[in-house]
Chain A
Amino acid sequence: MIELKHLYKSFEDKDVLMDINAVFENGKTNLIIGQSGSGKTVLMKNIVGLFEPTKGEILYDGRDFVKMSKRERVMLRREMGMIFQSAALFDSMTVLENVMFPLDMFSDQNEADRIRRAKFCLDRVNLQGAEAKMPGEISGGMQKRVAIARAIALNPQYLFCDEPNSGLDPKTSLVIDELIHSITHEYQMTTIMNTHDMNSVMGIGENIIYIHEGTVGWTGTKDEIMTSTNEKLNSFIFASDLFRKIKEANQEP
């Protein structure tokens, strides 16, 4: 479980995050949603330590990340996996080498075991036969699957996904969503996903936090979204005709 308590982040004079309080539960896909520029990427970067919060607490199962020493942070980071918007695969390495990388760096297994583990992770994301390919030779959807395989190679307790569906077609997006959702349940991880894809929200949003202008505007589940009376949330979620019609259909007796 990850808890945020009174988290603030400012850049010079500009307050980007203000008094964020949130709980991201274990074994659930926790979504951070919000409009572009609302501060959700900054929030994610604060949680994983790419930015330092101005004040507040970030608790990883009770361990305050903000107060940790450099060494403690390095140790905690080995319990994290992250999937970036751009997949962020190492382009000088093959697919197999990418997945093996965290194992090469931090595992004491011998090479045969590391290869076996990497191949298992690639199988888990339904990616066989691409081991020897370079990241530039595979599709965007496959790159995201390699990124997921790399992220789970060390059995992380915390999985972070920064807009994993960005640039993917709806069908591939569903596959990626389902993969993240099933892996979260299988390994009982705390997964936090940053998205503004409404299909993801409605599909796998077990715990949703809506960020509006740097503050928490709403929290709830995908089912509660349909009945929410929060105007700001509704104007964001039901901005498209399709979702408006779905909501109207749901409200009809």
Chain B
Amino acid sequence: MFIAKFILKRIAAFGKYLELMGRTFSVPERMRMFGKQYLREMEQLGVDSIGIVLLISFFIGAVICIQIKLNIQSPWMPAFTTGYTTREIMVLEFSSSIMCLILAGKVGSNIASEIGTMRVTQQIDALEIMGVNSASFLILPKIMGLMTMIPFLVIFSIAAGFIGAYATALAGIITPDDLTVGLLHAFNPWFVWMSIIKSVCFAFIIASVSSSYGYNVRGGSFDVGKASTNAVVSSSMLILFADIFLTQLLS
């Protein structure tokens, strides 16, 4: 009984999500206003996330390099192993999937709480009364903005990870030459594209799921907080499931 209720609730929520997306993906009423919102969202969701992306990627790149060098590298392995493994981890998983999981926390909660607050303070009702398609006006620029900015964040993350790895070379953990050889060894550019394609899909999940939680809030500030938490949890779960599917599909 409990399981049946749970499944029905999930199906209803999915139906609500699809309905909202149907309203979201309509031609904007005023391209001028859409353009303004789109630029604003690119700045708020993308540009404002560059700092945290660079910081985390730098340290993770450095830590991966140290861990591989100290725990896996052995005289039986080629000297480029550390650089090679660091590159593969950064490009294939960290800069797309793990970075998007981190962004689901930062950006997802921001989106859900912003739209949720607009709902409980009747700002969305005000848009509706004016005859504005509130879903399209509020959500579409967020989805498009994040999907536009995410490839840049992935590239920045990969670059920052490599810089982090080179920083360990400065500390004498690995020689810069070995690291460079490893980073360039058997490089397949498709892996970067794969990472970018995955991250664009994850960006859609983060922006659309979080917007849906915010848009459907009923109640007050407590409910906005709850929606914000649920948005992060659901986006993260969906990213993990989608990661398995996309990795299998694109590899």
Contact = CB atoms under 8 A, between A and B. Distances in A.
Interface string A73-116: 11111101010111011110000000001101110000000000
B-side binding surface: helix, strand, loop or mixed?
helix
A77 B131 contact: yes
Contacts of A132: none
Given A77-B131, A105-B132, A106-B131, A88 B30 contact: no
B122 A80 contact: no
A4 interface: no
A88 B132 contact: no
A239 interface: no
B129 interface: yes
A9 B239 CA distance: 42
Interface in A5-56: 48-50
Contact of B30 (A74, A90, A104): A104
B125 A78 contact: no
A226 B128 CA distance: 38
Among B118, B125, B128, B129, residue most surrounded by chain A Cβ atoms (within 10 Å)? B129
A85 B29 contact: no
B136 to A, nearest CB: 12
Interface string B97-131: 00000000000000000000010011101101111
A105 B130 contact: yes
A2 B129 CA distance: 16
B130 A86 contact: no
A104 B35 CA distance: 12
Given A104-B32, A105-B33, A85 B130 contact: no
A69 B71 CA distance: 68
Contact of B126 (A74, A75, A78, A84): A84
Contact of A75 (B29, B125, B131): B131
A88 B47 CA distance: 29
Interface string A141-185: 000000000000000000010000000000000000000000000
Listed residue (A85, A88, A90) with the most chain B CB atoms within 10 angstroms of its CB: A88
Contacts of A89: 123
B131 A78 contact: yes
Nearest to A77: B131
Contacts of A75: 131
A35 to B, nearest CB: 22
A77 B130 contact: yes
Nearest to A79: B131
A105 B122 CA distance: 19
A48 B130 CA distance: 10
Most central of B29, B121, B131 by chain A CB within 10 Å = B131
B122 A78 contact: no
A106 B32 CA distance: 11
A82 B130 CA distance: 8
B129 A77 contact: yes
A88 B130 contact: no
Nearest to B133: A74
Interface in B17-58: 29-30, 32-33
A86 B118 CA distance: 11
A180 to B, nearest CB: 16
A86 B122 contact: yes
B129 A50 contact: yes
A19 to B, nearest CB: 26
Contacts of B121: 86, 88, 91
A45 B7 CA distance: 32
B49 to A, nearest CB: 18
A87 B131 CA distance: 17
A139 B71 CA distance: 63
Interface in B108-167: 118, 121-123, 125-126, 128-132
Given A82-B129, A88-B126, A102-B130, 6 more contacts: A75-B131, A77-B131, A91-B121, A91-B123, A104-B30, A104-B33
Interface of A: 48-50, 73-78, 80, 82, 84-86, 88-91, 101-102, 104-106, 160
Counting from the closest, the 9 A-B pairs by CB-CB distance are: A77-B131, A88-B122, A88-B126, A74-B131, A82-B129, A84-B122, A78-B131, A88-B123, A86-B122
26 contacts: A50-B128, A74-B131, A76-B131, A77-B128, A77-B130, A77-B131, A78-B130, A80-B130, A82-B126, A82-B129, A84-B122, A84-B126, A86-B121, A86-B122, A88-B121, A88-B122, A88-B123, A88-B125, A89-B123, A90-B118, A90-B123, A91-B123, A105-B30, A105-B130, A106-B131, A160-B129
